[in-house]
Copies of this chain bind each other. A is one copy, B any other.
Amino acid sequence: MPAPIDFYFDFSSPYGYLASEQIDALAAKHRRGVAWRPILLGVVFQQTGSQPLLNIPLKGGYARHDLARSARLLGLPFQLPSSFPFLSVAACRAYYWLHDQDPAGAVALAKALYREAFGKGGDIDSGEAVLRIAESAGVGGAGGAGGAGEMAAALNDPAVKQRLRDEVSQAISKGVFGSPLFVVDGEPFWGHDRLDQVDLWLQRGGW
């Protein structure tokens, strides 16, 4: 069984949202899985001297136009949240906590969070919002033994906080610096617009 495609993303990344709607189908076409890896890019942005794309003069205005146009091309709803960029710490913690008991549910949660934020323009930065979206998506234990309270507790669990810090550190140590960023058999591809090359790389086994 070949290795899954690593899909690194920040929940606050609109191009990550576009990628999140395509990556599973692309991988399945090549009989690959996808390892969804949400991270926090703030730390990396300090190193690269970057700022969130949409805040940059000139580039920001273009990016808003480009995002809406790319979403139309893909047939996806698109709307920026009123508060943007936003903190995605709670979203990431919920993801990793859930991942350890229900990997498929964690991916469903990630997709639901992204759709809320960039499909509907909703806010997903608070723990309350994340819990509400998890419940709507039917993941995270609302019907299980611990109920939704277990996920609520996990958001402030020191072990879960450390788990997220470790995931971010590992990603940075592997050279991840942007979102979305894909790694296919050791080969990094940065940007939603590199999905074409990811597809070709998988098809040809590199070039």
Residues of A in contact with B (beta carbons under 8 Å apart):
44, 47-51, 56-59, 61-62, 65-66, 69-70, 72-73, 175, 177-178, 188-191, 193-194, 196-197, 200, 207
Complex-state Cα separation, A52 to B49, whole angstroms: 12
Q: Indicate if the CB atoms of B188 and A62 lie closer than 8 Å.
A: yes
Nearest-neighbor residue (CB-CB) of A191 within chain B: B193
Contacts of A188 in B (CB 8 A): 62, 65
Q: Indicate if the CB atoms of A58 and B73 lie closer than 8 Å.
A: no
Nearest-neighbor residue (CB-CB) of A65 within chain B: B188
Complex-state Cα separation, A60 to B191, whole angstroms: 14
Contacts of A69 in B (CB 8 A): 197, 207
Contacts of A56 in B (CB 8 A): 48-50
Complex-state Cα separation, A197 to B193, whole angstroms: 10
Contacts of A49 in B (CB 8 A): 51, 56-57
Q: Are A193 and B194 also in contact (CB < 8 A) when A57-B47, A73-B200 are? A: yes
